[in-house]
Amino acid sequence: MKKLIAKEKNQVVNFQGNIESTKEWINQTLQKTHKEMVELFNIDFTYFRDIKIIKQPELLKHLVERMRKDLRENGIVYNGIQWKQIFKNLSKNQVTDFFQNFTFYNPKDEVLYINEEIIMNYPEKIISICTHELSEKLLSTYLSPRQEAPIHELVKTYIEAKKTNNTTKLHELLDIYINTVFRSVFKEGCCEAIAIQTLRSIGYELETASLEKELLLGNLKCIKILFTIGNKRGGKRAKKAEMRLRYERQGAQAVNEESLVKEVLRSSQIIKGLSYYLGYPLAKAVLEKYGIKGVKLALEKSPPLEAQYFADPQKYLALLEKLQTVN
C-alpha cells in the first residue's frame, strides 16, 4: 500500500497494507474535518456511524443492493435473474474504471463505503473524496425533505406511459429525467464546493488549489455534454414534432424495460463521473456569493435546469438574486 501523508502533523504514515490502521487514520482525520464543517457552516449534522474499506467486487454488491432497495421502494421489482444481469453489466470491463474511484455514503445505514482501490492507487485523494461524502451528509440534514423523490416521479410517469401508450407522458418522462440530471450535477458540484471550502479552512491550501485547477480544466473539457443532454428536450418546435411523430409511429411499447435500465446505468455512469467537473464552477459561485443558505435556496426553490447556467454562472446568480429578494 502506498504511503499516506497525515498533513496536520506533516508526517508520513506507512500502513503497509494494514486496513485497520488505514481506517483509523481516515476516521480520525475525517472526524476533525467534520467538526470544522459543522462550525464553518453552522449546521449540526451527525458523523458516519461506521467507515468500511472494501474490495471492488464487494462494493459492487453493496451498490446493487442499494439500487434494489431504492427501486423496490419506488414500485419497481426485478427478479433474481434480472439483478444478476444488472450486476454482470456493472462488472464488465468497460465500466470497471468508473468504480475504481467510487466511494459512497449510504444514508440507510449511515456507513461510508470506501473502495480499497482508491487507497492503493490514489492515497493523496482519499481525504478530499471522503470530505465530499461528508458534504453529502451535511446537505441531507440541511435540505428540507422532498415531498416526492425524483426517481419516484420518474417511475410513476414511466409506468403510466407504458400502460396507456401515452406519448405525452413519454415526453414528460424525458423532461423529468433531464431535470433530475441537471439538479444532480448541481448538487454534486455543491458538495465539492463545500468540501473544498472546508479543506481550505483547515490548511489544505496546496491540495485544494490542485484539486480546483483539475475541476476547472475538466469543466472546460466536459461542459458540452450538458448542452447535449439539454438538447434532448427537443428545444425547438420542429424537433419536438419530429420526436412526437417518431414515438407515435413506434408506440410506447417500443420503450423496452431492459434498454431503459441500460440507458439509465450508462447515463448515470457518465454523469456521476463528470458531475464534479460540470457542477463545481456554478456551485462555487453560489456558495461564495450567498453562502450555504444560497445553496439551499437554489436546490429547493429553483435549481439550474439549463446548460447555459453552468456555462455562465452569472446568469444563474442574477436569477438567484431575484429569489433572494422574494424570500
pLDDT at 164: 60
pLDDT at 156: 57
Convert the pLDDT of each residue in 70-114 to its tens digit: 666 666 666 777 667 666 666 654 444 555 567 888 888 899 988
**Rounded CA separation 129/201 (Å):** 16
**Rounded CA separation 301/323 (Å):** 8
**Around Cβ 265, how many Cβ atoms within 10 Å?**
15
* Mean pLDDT, residues 268-290: 85
Evaluate whether 120 touches 16 at the Cβ level (below 8 Å).
no
pLDDT band at 249 (very low <50, low <70, confident <90, very high): very low
Closest residue by Cα to residue 319 from 292, 282, 278: 282
pLDDT band at 226 (very low <50, low <70, confident <90, very high): confident
**Around Cβ 179, how many Cβ atoms within 10 Å?**
16
pLDDT band at 122 (very low <50, low <70, confident <90, very high): confident
Whether residue 54 has pLDDT greater than 60: yes
Q: Which residues pair with 51 in a beta bridge?
A: 112
Strands (E), the chain: 4-6, 11-13, 50-54, 103-106, 111-115
Across 44-53, 84-93, 251-260, the highest mean pLDDT is recorded for 44-53
Grid cell at residue 259: 434498454
Say which residue the cell 416521479 belongs to. Answer: 153
Grid cell at residue 167: 406519448
Q: How do the domains of the chain map onto residue ranges? A: 1-142, 145-279
Q: Which one has a higher pLDDT value, 191 or 164? A: 191
Number of residues assigned to the chain: 327
